[in-house]
Amino acid sequence: METKVFKPDEIPAAAALLAAGELVAFPTETVYGLGADATNVDAVKQVYRAKGRPSDNPLIVHVADVATVERFAMPLSETAKKLIKAFWPGPLTMIFKLKPNALATEVTGGLQTAAFRNPDNAATLALIRAAKTPIVGPSANTSGKPSPTLAEHVYHDLNGKIAGILDDGPTKVGVESTVLDLSTDQPAILRPGAITPEAIEAVIGMPVQTEAHHVGATEVPKAPGMKYKHYAPNAQVYIVDRSEDWPQALAWAAQQDVPMGVMATDAILNQNQIPSNCEQFSLGTDIQSASQRLFAGLRHFDTETEIKDILCQAFENKGLGLAYMNRLNKSAGQTHFSV
């Protein structure tokens, strides 16, 4: 299969492929997603095959309007309506109870709930409208690998496996959307993202559960990223927890007889002597730029060098740092540099 790259002025052609049951990757403000008609079971099955994704890992349904959600979900609560008004379009995915037999089990993982998102990307919203169908959209990468923040990342992983890629340049946020479960009595964040617990609580006026990011080996996850290893490059990632740990971490790196990677903010890179066997990748100046660049850095060391180990900077586990550290811990397999 030839994978065609479309520009935003070619959306009708990309939408025609989706409507015909083909797979087309699409941009969002978070990462690139792998699109298929959410109402076409055969198309959805292709998503799992293309990614090598476990079949009990549910998919997020991307929509261009609230009316589409109401076609499939049970009546929306006042809490849901407040959140939609505040954060859609945007990086917030919400899980709702479904009407009976509203979506195929291939979309829901066999659950009676489904996750919906209205992405903040004009090209993708136009794509969904032109295709005249909601589209499933897991990250457009090989399952378990760092999520794609450029069309080139998608092409690297899925060239020849999907029909097309809608290229709208680099994503803005860089980590996947916040997933909020509204199918339970207390709203619960199943995956942290750019929309923080504090921002959600300020809108709905009630506490949000935040310790629901993992499930057991025999449980079916309600949202992506809760059960399986994610975001992992070929190299082993070591998390450097504190700025004062960097001199010792870099001294250790200098003693290794293999090329090493270093991912850190400009302040860390400028304040420390980087060993000659270490290649640098800047995470910018703060948590916003670090979140945007995290996956690009992991992919850089995966595809452009022979790096076997990567030292990566930690951030405080609050605000956007919750999302950043969630992804970094998974990419590292919870491995931290030990002083």
pLDDT, tens digit (0-9, with 9 covering 90-100), for 144-164: 889 999 999 999 999 999 999
Residue 204, CA distances (Å) to 76, 120, 177, 192, 198 in order: 14, 21, 18, 17, 10
Query: Which DSSP helix (H) or strand (E) runs through 279?
Result: strand 278-282
Is 57 annotated as a binding-site member?
A: yes
Average pLDDT over residues 252-281: 96
Q: Residue 225 pLDDT more than 80?
A: no
Q: Residue 213 pLDDT more than 70?
A: no
Is 326 in contact with 191 (CB distance < 8 Å)? yes
SS3 content of the chain, % helix, strand, coil (to 5): 35, 20, 45
Give the count of beta carbons closer than 10 Å to the beta carbon of residue 100.
6
Q: What is the pLDDT of residue 259?
A: 94
Q: Is the dihedral of CA 69, 70, 73, 74 positive or negative?
A: positive
CATH topology of domain 236-332: Rossmann fold (3.40.50)
Q: Residue 262 pLDDT more than 60?
A: yes
The CATH number of 4-204, from 3.40.50.150, 1.25.40.10, 3.30.300.30, 3.90.870.10, is 3.90.870.10
- Parts of the chain belonging to CATH 3.40.50.11030: 236-332
pLDDT band at 138 (very low <50, low <70, confident <90, very high): very high
By three-state DSSP, how is residue 25 classified?
Answer: strand
pLDDT band at 222 (very low <50, low <70, confident <90, very high): low
Is 139 annotated as a binding-site member?
A: yes
Average pLDDT over residues 126-134: 98
Is 338 annotated as a binding-site member?
A: no
Contacts with 2 (C-beta within 8 Å, 6 or more apart), sequence order:
160
Q: Which residue has the higher pLDDT, 196 or 216?
A: 196
Q: What is the pLDDT of residue 226?
A: 56
Is 49 annotated as a binding-site member?
A: no
Closest listed residue to residue 302, CA positions, set 193, 162, 170, 148: 148
The pair of structure tokens assigned to 250 is 């870099």
Is 129 annotated as a binding-site member?
A: no
Is 147 annotated as a binding-site member?
A: yes
Is 177 annotated as a binding-site member?
A: yes
- Parts of the chain belonging to CATH 3.90.870.10: 4-204
Contacts with 99 (C-beta within 8 Å, 6 or more apart), sequence order:
72, 73, 74
- Report the predicted TM-score, pTM, of the whole model to 2 decimal places: 0.92
Q: Residue 217 pLDDT more than 70?
A: no
User: Which parts of the chain fold into alpha helices (H)?
Assistant: 11-19, 41-51, 66-72, 78-87, 105-108, 122-131, 151-158, 197-204, 246-254, 266-271, 287-303, 320-332
Is 32 annotated as a binding-site member?
A: no
pLDDT band at 82 (very low <50, low <70, confident <90, very high): very high
Residue 259, CA distances (Å) to 72, 121, 243, 295 in order: 51, 38, 22, 20
Is 30 annotated as a binding-site member?
A: yes
Q: Could you give the CA distance from residue 138 to residue 124 in angstroms, rounded to a whole number?
A: 14
Is 113 annotated as a binding-site member?
A: yes
The model's pLDDT over 84-122, given as tens digits with 9 standing for 90+, comes to 999 999 999 999 999 999 999 999 988 999 999 999 999
The model's pLDDT over 276-314, given as tens digits with 9 standing for 90+, comes to 999 999 999 999 999 999 999 999 998 777 899 999 999
Q: Residue 216 pLDDT more than 60?
A: no
